[in-house]
Amino acid sequence: MTPEPPVLSRRDSLRSADFEAGVALLVDKPAGITSFGVVARIRRWTRIRKVGHAGTLDPSATGLMIVLTGKATRSQASFMGMDKEYLSGVLLGVETDTWDLDGQVVSRTMNLDITREQVSEILRTRFGGEIEQFPPIFSALKVGGVPAYRLARKGKAVDLKPRRVKVYSLELE
C-alpha cells in the first residue's frame, strides 16, 4: 500500500515542498481551462515531469482538483475512490444543444408549471441512493483517449456506458 502523500494547500510553503518525492496539491480550477491544462501549468511551474490528477473536470466546470506530483501519482486510485461533493446550478426551462451553458439555446419554456416540492421529489426519486448514472456525451470522459465533448461537438457518435454511483445526500437549496 502506498503511503498517503502530504496534501498542500495555499497556507503551506511550496518552496520547501519536495515535488519529486510527491505531494498532493489542492487546486481551485477555474472555468475555461481543461484538467490537462492545469496539470501542464503545474508541470512547468514545478519542473517535474511526473504530474497527474485525481479526476477530470469538464473545461467549463470549476472546483477542487487534486493534482499529484512525483511519487504521489501512485496514490491516484485512493484519491479517486474518495467520496465527492458537488454543488450545481440548474436553469429550468432552457435546453441547449450541449446540455450545458456552453451550448446554443435550442428551446426555451417561459411558463413552467412545476413547484419546488415537485422538483424535490424528482431529485429524491431519480437521483438519490444507488443509481445508474449516464454521463452526458458533452463530458470530459475519454473515449479512445479523446474527451467525449470533442467528439460530440464534431457531430461524431459517442457511446458512454452508465456508471453505478451512490448519492448519499441531495439537497435543493
In this structure, the chain runs to a length of: 173
Q: Write out the three cell numbers for 75.
A: 496514490
Residues 6+ apart with CB under 8 A from 144: none
Cell of 163: 456508471
Handedness of CA 96, 98, 100, 103 (dihedral sign): negative
Beta bridge partners of 111: none
Q: Which of 81, 110, 106, 88 is nearest to 170 (CA)?
A: 88
Of these residues, 12, 18, 58, 159, which one is catalytic?
58
Active site residue 58: yes
Q: What is the rounded CA–CA span in Å between residue 121 and residue 115?
A: 10
Q: Which residues are catalytic?
A: 58
